[in-house]
Amino acid sequence: MINLLISILAKILSRISKLILNIKKRKEYKRVGSIVDSKNIDLSFICGNYCRVGRDTVIEKNVIMGRLSYINSDMGKTYIGSNVKIGSLCSISSGVIIAPVNHYLNYVTTHPLLYNSYYSSILNINSNLLSQQELDANVSTVIGNDVWIGANVIIKRGVTIGDGAVIGAGSIITKDIPSYAVVAGVPAKIIKYRFSKDVIESLKDSKNVWELSTSELEENFSHLYDVEKYLNRFKL
């Protein structure tokens, strides 16, 4: 009876602790001007200034998102797996899945009993069980800056998406995407590039739009409509 009461009390204290941490995190987001509507966000999530996260978004451990990026989950749940870095000025649509859980081909079995606690309780293997985070600890997924990801895209864990890339709706990304590429398909292939090779090189040699301060964005807003004008202004 005493053990049961101790167990119940421990659970209550754990929930209270998580609630307090959650409130602190919400205040943190608000302080930097970000709106995080979802309740399914791991407390390790870090976002920059003026981010938006839709209510049907799930974010796992060790996810970082740069300033002015947003996740729109109004038309379908969006999932961001663990160990993901999202740059600034990114646009992520509804129904997107980034870095889903792997089934590991190099082990004896691909079954999730290798990391899922449900099976560890059945098989009594708690002491030998590796967590999903431990298995994926060295596998990071990187979404560059100013990346537009269309609806219902799946991005494989471990992939890097270059700055300025565009991913068409419904695509499946299985390998790295170069900067400013426009890709689509299953698996995704490069359709074209947003700009000519010369313009892309010039943009890389310029002060990037995601590097501009808030005041610089305000003062030079009209330049964002004209690539040539922007390059003339910010060429290094």
The answer to whether residue 31 is domain-embedded is no
Same domain, residue pair 78 and 185: yes
Active site residues: 103
- Residues 87 and 142 reside in one and the same domain: yes
Q: Domain check: are 160 and 78 in the same one?
A: yes
E-strand spans in 48-153?
52-53, 57-59, 63-65, 70-71, 78-80, 84-86, 91-92, 97-98, 141-143, 148-149
How many angstroms separate the CA atoms of 93 and 151, rounded? 5
Residues 6+ apart with CB under 8 A from 4: none
Average pLDDT (24-32) is 81
Quick: pLDDT tens for 76-122. Answer: 899 999 999 999 999 999 999 999 988 878 788 888 777 777 777 77
Torsional sign, CA 113, 39, 19, 5: negative
Roughly how many angstroms between the first and final C-alpha of the chain, as a whole number?
72
Contact 25, 43 (CB under 8 A): yes
Contacts for 221 with CB less than 8 Å, ≥ 6 apart: none
Domain encompassing residue 77: 36-101+136-194
Q: Is residue 24 part of a domain?
A: no
Count structural domains, the chain. 3
d(CA 49, CA 54): 16
Residue 20 lies in a domain: no
Full-model pTM: 0.84
Instruction: Enumerate long-range contacts of 54-61, CB under 8 Å, 24 or more apart.
Output: 54/78, 54/94, 56/94, 60/84, 61/133
* 97/151 same-domain check: yes
- Give one DSSP letter per residue of 20-62, joined into a string: HHHHHHHHHHHHTT-EE--SEE-TT-EE-TT-EE-TTEEE-SS
pLDDT digits (tens, 9 = 90+) for 191-222: 999 999 999 999 999 999 999 999 999 999 99
Q: Are residues 51 and 88 in the same domain?
A: yes
- Among candidate residues 68, 66, 70, 106, the one with its CA nearest the CA of residue 84: 66
Answer yes or no: do 85 and 145 share one domain: yes
Asked whether residue 200 is assigned to any structural domain, the reply reads yes
Residues 120 and 144 reside in one and the same domain = no
Q: Does residue 16 have a pLDDT over 70?
A: no
Q: Specify whether 155 is located in the same domain as 50.
A: yes
Closest CA to 142 of 120, 124, 157, 121: 157
Please provide the size of the chain in residues. Answer: 236
Q: Does residue 7 lie in a domain region?
A: no
**What local confidence, expressed as pLDDT, does residue 39 receive?**
87
